[in-house]
Structure 1
Amino acid sequence: MDKVLRLASENGLVIFSKSTCCLCYAVNILFHELGVTPYIHEIDHDPDGKEIEKALMRMGCNAPIPAVFIGGKLVGSTNEVMSLHLSGSLLPLLRPYQPST
């Protein structure tokens, strides 16, 4: 769990992902379309991946991946991210991570 919390606090926008997961890819694309570049941590390429997955479940992720953190706080998985987006609540959370124009 320490590694999850450290990565989430060091990077403003983090997605814990698996390289073969289509839902992870969809969330990543959504964020890019909204003008932000999240830090993607592929847990299937991390020797601690299984432990990270267990830690994400203990933290409250219904589905361990994708697990999205914004500002060091767990937002959730695909359902939570999409619900925030459809309600218009996601974009304000992402504003601090969008490049200035």
Structure 2
Amino acid sequence: MVNLNGATLLAFILLISLLTASNANDSTAEEAFVKKTISQHDIVIFSKSYCPYCRRSKAVFKELNKVPYVIELDQRDDGFDVQNALSRIIGRRTVPQVFINGKHIGGSDDTVDAYENGTLVKLLGITSEDEL
């Protein structure tokens, strides 16, 4: 067992407090980034460039002639933190995560299902004249 004197213990507690406060501020900044991004773009995909499920989701929007705003988490220095913030906001850490008009659609399977059952077309406001 380590025996710490009062000054050492106080310094240790102060250090832990500073680290915890720093992490809390960082997570708040990342959550703010996620929320701001979702609110500023009609279609947002949080993705990883190498992920086949992410490519599948992006292909759905290409099929609909819509260009999503894509955040490639693996190409960002803060990608890990953004992914953690996304997890805290929506309860999922996996990618892709798709948002339309601020509404969380879900992952790849959810996006493909919404495309196939017509929900995605409705959410995007695409009329039959607009399609392909």
Give the alignment's TM-score, normalised by structure 2: 0.67
Identity of aligned residues (%): 34
Moved over 4 A (4+): none
Q: Which residue in the other structure is 1:23 paired with?
A: 53
> How far apart are residue 95 of structure 1 and its match?
2.3
Matched positions, count? 98
Residue 67 of structure 2 corresponds to: 37
What is the aligned-residue RMSD (CA, Å)?
1.9
Any idea what the Cα deviations from partners look like across 1:13-37, whole Å, max 9, x if unmatched? 1111111111111111110111101
Counterpart residue identity of residue 100, structure 2: I
- Bigger shift: 26-35 or 53-62? 53-62
Question: Aligned partners of 1:62, 1:90: CA distance in 2, in Å?
Answer: 21
Farther-moved stretch of structure 1 (37-46 vs 57-66) = 57-66
Q: Which residue of 1 aligns with 2:27?
A: none
**Partner in structure 2 of residue 48 of structure 1:** 78
Question: In the aligned structure 1, how far is the partner of 2:63 from the partner of 2:91?
Answer: 24
TM-score (norm 1): 0.85
Cα distance in 1 for partners of 2:84, 2:66 equals 27
Deviation at 1:59, TM superposition (A): 2.5
- State the distance in 2 between where 1:59 and 1:75 align: 13
CA distance in 2 between counterparts of 1:73 and 1:55 reads: 17
Question: Secondary structure at the residue paired with 1:64?
Answer: coil
2:98 alignment counterpart:
68
Q: Is the 8 A contact 1:14 1:39 kept in 2?
A: yes
Structure 2 alignment gaps of length 5 or more: 1-30
